[in-house]
Structure 1
């Protein structure tokens, strides 16, 4: 969602694609790449970008966001087994985009973001069993912002970076028991609209925007040591051959998701909208290009994994907003017939 909504989360400027940036068109080598994108269940409400999404069990919850005409404070539940969306109790805060969301202990947490004029620091908790919101949580102590990232490790939630007039780099840990926040070690460089995934109880922060430039770093946060480790760069900067094709990994306002101990990076933009999809192998600290995203190019989308199946949905391209959803099978052969 660039989350300067969700997205995850977003600039409100209409972006004009520049089609000469490497990696921003469908790869001419797709026949040699692995992975297949197929059209899936459409989101059943208004097309939007920069929404929030969190998962609890085998269900996903999508809400807030922005379209060409308005911002939203709705919430929808997706049941993969049933294959449809159900409207849940409305988010009690102001309609917003570029907010954050995470889930801990069967409860979803939503906060921060922007209404297009002001940023927010308020936080809310959603109980999907009771279908109720708790509006009495303490505000996020890092201050009002948009385009932050959020993640869950164990029984804690985390909020990092974002934008409040300038890019940010602070990190905060949330403990639901006691509704308490504690500041942790900041990430090394300021950024907004970054992408994050969690593997083996560590958070991997990918790229992001620093003064409008996509950072070429991958940083890992380990809560057990409260420390950050930098992995190999996302561009071709070494004398080795592994990164010779690293021309289109760095980006912002993208999505990531994890399946079978591999992470996948898709959508987003850097100069223009990115179609290239990259798979990250934690064991080797290397990236491999996979079949390009086969929907319309977009930023500010959201992603989810349910039953070890990965999906990308919503988002925007300039003034065009989307409600469609695509599923990615990383081991299947690419098939044009199932994404129309």
Structure 2
């Protein structure tokens, strides 16, 4: 059975009463095993995230466990969260670990390489400042080591992923030029690569399959867009692929085999989505799958352990007294395609 991997793209939610920011999640690249019993295909709810409901967190998995870092709480008095929680699927239980020591609290970028996770940039909700610091996390002993700052400037909401022992960071929220940077953990050095040529400026999909990256959709200069691109890191070259079925931004994405699953986000009509789309990299075709069973949302987080994707948190909306209000969520789900 093919192994899943997941990356949660930069996730942005724009409310009239709140600021517009972003979130990033990176896939697990280890040979993790989900020790829970695999049930029927589809969505199953698991233990809720134990902290306050929040959005714009960073998520990844290492060693058969899932991790959720930082984010923004709904309460205005507590908007700078650097908490680190670990999820154990065998016990369906969360544990609180050492806090993230970096300056960014949410909308961070990162990637996992050879058992270490590299995380940084982002936005600090306490100071209202962008950040450029970068850190290395060792999940085996729950320790952080500061690395060199990201040289491309302070930013939030970048797309990030890992290919071939290198990390990649693309663009940022509120930047018209989507620059691409490659990180070498062995030397702690960044190299600028060819710019992303797509029309999306922020909140795009970013995921890897078989040594290639797939990036697309997102919020463009004037509209939500649907163009989709393949990146070959060996050639530093972009090739346009089939457009996504519908324009959207802020989904969670994960892969199984040659297929990419796109979950939720916000559509062109500015409504939260619970739909699931599938892109087959082998055939360059898009199809629809079973909808997500929980509440429609954006600004969510996810990680993959073995053959199971985990997905939760985020923000949605409710209608009360004829007005629409943002709400934050703390439920968590697992998905077996």
How high is the TM-score relative to the length of structure 1? Answer: 0.81
Q: Is residue 120 from structure 1 mapped to residue 131 from structure 2 by the alignment?
A: yes
In 2, the alpha carbon distance for the partners of 1:262 and 1:43 equals 28
**How much does 1:7 deviate?**
7.7
User: Which residue is equivalent to 2:332?
Assistant: 325
In 2, the alpha carbon distance for the partners of 1:272 and 1:35 equals 27
User: Which residue is equivalent to 1:210?
Assistant: 220
Contact 1:96 1:114 in 2 (8 A): yes
Contact 2:9 2:205 in 1 (8 A): no
User: Which residue is equivalent to 1:301?
Assistant: 300
Please list the CA deviations of residues 213-259 of structure 1 after superposition, one character each: whole Å capped at 9, or x if unmatched.
2221111111111111110122xxxxxxxxxxx3x3x2111110112
**How much does 1:149 deviate?**
0.7
User: Which residue is equivalent to 1:131?
Assistant: 142
Q: CA RMSD in A?
A: 2.1
User: Which residue is equivalent to 1:161?
Assistant: 171
Q: Is residue 76 from structure 1 mapped to residue 82 from structure 2 by the alignment?
A: no
Distance 1:80 1:168, change over 3 A: farther
User: Which residue is equivalent to 1:45?
Assistant: 51
In 2, the alpha carbon distance for the partners of 1:106 and 1:153 equals 14
**How much does 1:110 deviate?**
1.2
**How much does 1:212 deviate?**
5.5
Q: Is residue 89 from structure 1 mapped to residue 98 from structure 2 by the alignment?
A: yes
User: Which residue is equivalent to 2:310?
Assistant: 311
Q: Is residue 257 from structure 1 mapped to residue 262 from structure 2 by the alignment?
A: no
**How much does 1:205 deviate?**
0.8
In 2, the alpha carbon distance for the partners of 1:212 and 1:296 equals 28
**How much does 1:50 deviate?**
0.8
Distance 1:231 1:95, change over 3 A: closer
In 1, the alpha carbon distance for the partners of 2:163 and 2:9 equals 21
In 2, the alpha carbon distance for the partners of 1:13 and 1:207 equals 20
Paired residue secondary structure (1:304)? strand
In 1, the alpha carbon distance for the partners of 2:180 and 2:65 equals 28
Contact 2:296 2:316 in 1 (8 A): yes
> Which deviates the most, 37-46 or 292-301?
37-46
Q: How does 1:192-231 map to 2 (within 5 A)?
A: 192-211=202-221, 213-231=223-241
In 1, the alpha carbon distance for the partners of 2:194 and 2:307 equals 32
Q: Is residue 110 from structure 1 mapped to residue 119 from structure 2 by the alignment?
A: yes
User: Which residue is equivalent to 1:10?
Assistant: 12
In 2, the alpha carbon distance for the partners of 1:167 and 1:112 equals 18
Q: How does 1:46-65 map to 2 (within 5 A)?
A: 46-65=52-71
Distance 1:123 1:67, change over 3 A: same
Contact 1:7 1:49 in 2 (8 A): no
In 1, the alpha carbon distance for the partners of 2:254 and 2:145 equals 28
**How much does 1:94 deviate?**
2.7
Please list the CA deviations of residues 254-312 of structure 1 after superposition, one character each: whole Å capped at 9, or x if unmatched.
11011233210011103111121111111111111011112111101112221111121
Gaps in structure 1 of 5+ consecutive residues:
1-5, 17-33, 235-245, 331-340
Q: Is residue 150 from structure 1 mapped to residue 152 from structure 2 by the alignment?
A: no
Contact 1:172 1:182 in 2 (8 A): yes
Distance 1:300 1:231, change over 3 A: same
**How much does 1:115 deviate?**
2.1
How many equivalent pairs are there?
293
User: Which residue is equivalent to 1:176?
Assistant: 185
Would you tell me which structure has more strand in proportion to its own residues? Answer: 2
Paired residue secondary structure (2:141)? coil
How high is the TM-score relative to the length of structure 2? Answer: 0.82
